[in-house]
Amino acid sequence: MANPTKKTLKGLSLRAKSVLIFSFLGLLIGIISNLIIQRSLQPILQDTLPTIKEGEQILQMTQQLQAETALYLATGDEIHKTHSVRIEGELISKLNEYSQFLGNDPNEVEALEAFTQSVNEFTVIGRRTTESHFKTLELLDELEEFGHDITALSVAAHETVNYEIIRNSQDENFEELEDDALVTKDLLNAFFLATQVLQREANEYIVLSNADTLEEFEETTASLEELQKELSLTLEENESGELAILNQIIDIREELAPLSRAVITSHTETLALVAELDNAVANLELVSADIESAVNKEVENALQISRNSVFSSLVVGALIALLGFLITNTLLAPILKLAEVSKLISAGKLDSRVEVKSRDEIGLLSVDFNEMAEKMQSSLGDLGERVVERTTELERISTQAEKQAAQLKTIADVANSVASLQGVDQLLPYITQVISERFGFYHVGIFLLSSDTEYAVLQASNSEGGQAMLARNHQLRIDQESIVGITIEEKKTHISLDVDKDATYFDNPDLPATRSEMALPLVAGDTTIGALDIQSELSNAFSSDDIDGLTTLANQVAIAIRNADLFQQSQEALEELDITFQQYISDQWSRFSKATDVKGYHASEAGLRPIKKSLQKNDNVEKDDTLYEVPIKLRDVVIGYLNINLDKPVSQYSEDELGIIQATVDRFALAVENARLLETTSKRAARERLVSEITTKMRSTNEPDQILQTAMEELKKALDASRVKLDIISPEQAEDVSD
């Protein structure tokens, strides 16, 4: 009797037998493979792979924290500081989770401790770096606010000194004018210029971190202290106004230098912390490499276990290969075709498809495969579009960052130009050119109010159309008819993003390409002095970032214009004072020359003899090449000449030798001027003393006759007169005498 099992097998179809055989082999392969994989990969799945993944996440978070810290240092934006704090908290939490994945291996435990310490050091340094930079930004804001106080004091101090100069000029008190007021004015100019330089050097160190800037800062600080000491000697303490200014100057010097130094010190600490942060990152990477090495060693152990099952895998593989060889041409050919098309799709030929030749399971699989390939091709197309969108967004962000950097650079250049370009005629064209070049604007113009404040007059422009307007003295009325007029009248920024749709836009034939316009008020203190007019060839050319940056720039321009005007007024007053003083010197020496018989002196081997006669223009004077004539000058006013008969022709003497003569003459001029002033002062004092004595004697009695008698006797004695007569007349007689 036949075996029922064999009989059953013989009754099965070939497909059923193939299914049965492949089912048995699949079961056998599954059991063997499962045992091998479970034994070799269990340590990796439960320990190694999560360790690597968590370690990579921690490194990524440290990189994010470092990037947010760097962005905060670069931009000062509080959002990056907030992100840093959030990432720091997540990093500490992730580090606690990370320790759970490492085993009890001593190498792993040691590496984990080192890694934990490195991460903690990194987070602490990152937090300190952020706090240090925040402190630096606060100090910079304080320094900027302090600069406004310095500007206000500068205006008040110059007004006080200018008042003293005018008062001394009107009183003809030229000695005090020269020795006190003018020196004080020069010292004030130098002092406030030094404060500007000190602030600029502090800001320059924040931007460039240059060691040379620190040396310049120390020199400026010392110079500021010396100037303050000199001002303490020149400003009069008995004058309440000057005493108040002196006290404020001392306060400014005592506050500005420490504040500027605090900014530099804080930024230096930030730079040191940044270096420590970089070192911490490098150390963290080294420690991470140690952990990875320990994990790789554990992976190697797991792989060694897998190698022990190679023989079993080879046997199973041989059986599968033999069976595959028998059925490949009949049963697996369509599947191989699927694999071939799959490779083509993986290589980038997304339009490849499987040819469906049957309606069995493989045919249905081919249909499903083709549908899946169609969906994947569509998905990749959508993904490409998203990549393009992200790339465009990144380019936009990069362009915006570059634009902001250009704004900061332009603001710094304008601030530096205030110190180098003192005249408005030089400063305003430079500012318009810089703004146009840095921002790519079509037209930049600066309007200033007219003296009657009814018009805004164009003062500078970079464009050809602007130059044409300057040539014809272009001006706009302060009203609602133009953007510039509205801006000045309302003291706030106005923008026309599309001039074709803006009713207030002034259609200027000199600027036909204008499509958008922005006007910013120029405000110095509480006074609007003009407007900054910016025009672009593009519609919607101005963003909110442009408005913020250009508003700061407009404030810088207003301050620069106000400072330049003050400087020009000071220069004009000084020039007028020099002319007045030169005329005073010329008049005094003319009077002195007329009041004395001696017109000069002649020195020879025989001795020194006076010259009684002045040299006239028509007098004949013998001259030869050995006669060297040197003018004697006081403040460019010639008060005499020194004629020297040399031993050889003048041309044979060097410039240094002749320079000795000139230097001696200059000292001589100062000496004779001091002598004249001393003599004049002595005579005036003697006259005042004589008048005082006569007055005292006259007041010794209340009798009119005795008063008259005393006055006549004292006048006769003082004037060495032989006779003094006093006539008393009535008012009517006085009128007759005057007629």
Q: What is the pLDDT of residues 277-331, one digit of tens each?
A: 778 777 767 766 666 666 666 666 655 555 555 555 556 655 665 565 556 555 6
Q: How confident is the model at residue 13 (pLDDT cuts 50, 70, 90)?
A: very low
361 with 469, same domain: the answer is: no
Residue type, 693: E
Which residues span the domain enclosing 367? 310-402
Query: Would you call 282 exposed, middle or buried from its count of C-beta atoms within 10 A (0-12, 13-18, 19+)?
Result: exposed
For residue 589, the cross-strand partners are: none
Q: Is residue 269 part of a domain?
A: yes
Q: How confident is the model at residue 461 (pLDDT cuts 50, 70, 90)?
A: very high
The domain that holds 493 is classified in CATH as 3.30.450.40
Q: Are 516 and 540 in contact (CB under 8 A)?
A: yes
Q: At what angle do helices 655-698 and 704-719 cross, to 10 degrees?
A: 150
734 with 708, same domain: the answer is: yes
Q: How confident is the model at residue 1 (pLDDT cuts 50, 70, 90)?
A: very low
Q: Which of 373, 359, 374, 361 is nearest to 335 (CA)?
A: 361
Q: Is residue 247 part of a domain?
A: yes
Tens of pLDDT, residues 333-383 = 666 666 777 777 777 776 777 777 777 766 777 777 777 877 777 777 777
208 with 316, same domain: the answer is: no
Q: Is residue 717 part of a domain?
A: yes
Could you write out the three-class secondary structure of 115-150?
A: HHHHHHHHHHHHHHHHHHHHHHHHHHHHHHHHHHHH
How many Å apart are CA 44 and CA 111, to the nearest integer? 18
CA geometry: angle at 149 spanning 145 and 151, to 5°? 110
User: Minimum mean pLDDT among 346-360, 444-458, 662-676: which range?
Assistant: 346-360
How many Å apart are CA 184 and CA 230, to the nearest integer? 9
Which residue has better confidence, 158 or 630? 630
Give residue for tokens 């009107």: 170
Q: Is residue 387 part of a domain?
A: yes
Q: Which of 495, 614, 587 is nearest to 548 (CA)?
A: 495
How many Å apart are CA 379 and CA 416, to the nearest integer? 55
Residue type, 306: S
Q: Is residue 188 part of a domain?
A: yes
How many Å apart are CA 226 and CA 417, to the nearest integer? 25
448 with 495, same domain: the answer is: yes
pLDDT of residue 680: 80
Judged by DSSP in three states, 454 sits in: coil
Give residue for tokens 């924290």: 65
pLDDT of residue 24: 64
Judged by DSSP in three states, 209 sits in: coil
* Number of CB atoms found within 10 A of residue 60's CB: 12
Q: Is residue 131 part of a domain?
A: no
Which residue has better confidence, 286 or 471? 471
Tens of pLDDT, residues 236-262 = 655 666 777 777 788 777 777 787 778
Q: Are 181 and 164 in contact (CB under 8 A)?
A: yes
pLDDT of residue 417: 59
How many Å apart are CA 284 and CA 402, to the nearest integer? 32
503 with 537, same domain: the answer is: yes
Q: Is residue 29 part of a domain?
A: no
Instruction: Summarize the confidence of residues 110-120 as an average pLDDT.
Output: 69
Tokens representing 74 are: 């670069």
pLDDT of residue 7: 62
How many Å apart are CA 155 and CA 333, to the nearest integer? 96
Q: How confident is the model at residue 96 (pLDDT cuts 50, 70, 90)?
A: low
394 with 425, same domain: the answer is: no
Alpha helices in 421-482 (DSSP H): 424-439, 464-471
Instruction: Summarize the confidence of residues 512-516 as an average pLDDT.
Output: 86
Residue 631: φ, ψ to 5°: -70, 140
Q: How confident is the model at residue 530 (pLDDT cuts 50, 70, 90)?
A: very high
Residue 524: φ, ψ to 5°: -115, 110
Residue type, 78: E
Q: Average pLDDT over the chain, rounded to whole?
A: 74
Give residue for tokens 């004595």: 693
How many Å apart are CA 187 and CA 249, to the nearest integer? 12
433 with 539, same domain: the answer is: yes
Structure-derived torsion over alpha carbons of residues 301, 303, 305, 307, reported in degrees to the nearest 10: -140
Q: How confident is the model at residue 616 (pLDDT cuts 50, 70, 90)?
A: low
Which residues, in sequence order, are CB contacts of 221 under 8 Å at separation 6+? 198, 257, 260, 261
Q: Are 362 and 335 in contact (CB under 8 A)?
A: yes
527's enclosing H/E stretch is strand 527-536
Q: At what angle do helices 49-75 and 106-170 cross, to 10 degrees?
A: 0
Q: Is residue 642 part of a domain?
A: yes
Which DSSP string corresponds to 322-381? Answer: HHHHHHIIIIIHHHHHHHHHHHHHHTT-TT--PPP--SSHHHHHHHHHHHHHHHHHHHHH
Structure-derived torsion over alpha carbons of residues 292, 297, 303, 307, reported in degrees to the nearest 10: 160
Q: Are 299 and 44 in contact (CB under 8 A)?
A: yes
* Number of CB atoms found within 10 A of residue 689's CB: 10
For residue 447, the cross-strand partners are: 458, 531
pLDDT surpassing 70 at residue 102: no
625 with 684, same domain: the answer is: yes
Give residue for tokens 């895998």: 313
Would you put residue 641 in left (φ > 0), alpha (ψ -120 to 50) or beta?
beta
Q: Are 227 and 187 in contact (CB under 8 A)?
A: yes
644-672 CB burial, b ≥16 within 10 A, e <16: eebeeeeeebeeeeeeeeeeebeeebeeb
Tens of pLDDT, residues 601-610 = 777 777 777 7
320's enclosing H/E stretch is helix 310-327
Q: At what angle do helices 211-234 and 182-208 cross, to 10 degrees?
A: 160
Give residue for tokens 């990370």: 98
Residue 505: φ, ψ to 5°: -75, 135
317-353 CB burial, b ≥16 within 10 A, e <16: eeeeeeeeeeeeeeeeebeebbeebeeebeeeebebe
160 with 263, same domain: the answer is: yes
What's the count of helices (H) and strands (E) in the chain, helices before strands? 19, 10
361 with 383, same domain: the answer is: yes
Residue 459: φ, ψ to 5°: -110, -30
318 with 392, same domain: the answer is: yes
Would you put residue 209 in left (φ > 0), alpha (ψ -120 to 50) or beta?
left
Query: Would you call 165 exposed, middle or buried from its count of C-beta atoms within 10 A (0-12, 13-18, 19+)?
Result: buried
193 with 330, same domain: the answer is: no
Tens of pLDDT, residues 618-656 = 555 556 778 888 888 877 778 777 788 888 887 888 888
pLDDT surpassing 50 at residue 14: no
How many domains in the chain? 5
Instruction: Summarize the confidence of residues 47-60 as an average pLDDT.
Output: 64
pLDDT of residue 591: 72
pLDDT of residue 238: 52
Of 278, 300, 330, the position where a domain reaches its end is 278
pLDDT of residue 447: 92
pLDDT of residue 444: 93
How many Å apart are CA 559 and CA 192, to the nearest integer? 14
